[in-house]
Amino acid sequence: MTLSLPLPLPLLLIALSGLLCACSPTLNWRDVEVGPQTRVQFPCKPEHAERSLVLGGVPTRAAMWACDAGGLSWSATVLDVGDPARLGTVLRASRLSLASRLHGSEEAVRPVQITGMTPNVEARRVVLIGKPGEGPPARAEAVFVARGLQVFQFVAMAQRGAPAVWTESADEFLRSVRWP
């Protein structure tokens, strides 16, 4: 008895490899170090950039990791504060700055607690809604926390056409922050 394949073996292998590629996940989660002993799960490979910016009237070094996947933008920003008395001011300023960039407002604000963070009354988890321009308004979920003399801003932002269940992925990203 002979086994007859409907396609020659090389064509069958090419077809199977195409099916395997089609099954690759949109969100490819990976562990990324975003600061000294600070790790977060990104759903894509982030690009890294650093710059200096002014927060609360003081120059501040900022390091950022960001990528786009699944119709969302994902980012982690680390701000070196230098003075413990400025932690609350920088937490609040970075939160208000994000709302300003979205031309929007905070729809939901609640305190946040992450094991290993430096307690601060300005540590928050926020839902931000941008004003509509062309198309639906941008929507972001973000966490603003401090650890030592650094302020961390973690953001998952929906782009136009993002899947309706994006909040589950945003929650997974925001809950993945950990310090040893």
Cα-flanking dihedrals φ and ψ of residue 142, to 5°?
-145, 155
| Residues whose CB is less than 8 angstroms from the CB of residue 30 and which lie 6 or more positions away in sequence, other chains included | 41, 42, 43, 44, 45
Tokens in use for 122?
């300005």
Of the two residues 71 and 40, the one the predictor is more confident about is 40
Pick from 92, 82, 75, 100: nearest CA to 156: 75
Give residue-wise pLDDT tens across range 41-98: 999 999 999 999 887 788 889 999 999 988 889 999 999 998 999 999 999 999 998 9
Give residue-wise pLDDT tens across range 108-145: 999 999 999 999 999 999 999 887 666 666 889 999 99
Quick one: pLDDT at residue 12? Answer: 34
Quick one: pLDDT at residue 36? Answer: 82
Q: Give the fold, CATH level 3, of 28-175.
A: Protein Transport Mog1p; Chain A (3.40.1000)
> What is the band of 22 on the pLDDT scale with cuts at 50, 70, 90?
very low
Maximum Cα–Cα distance across the chain: 83
Q: Quote the CA–CA distance of 65 and 154 in Å, as a whole number.
A: 10
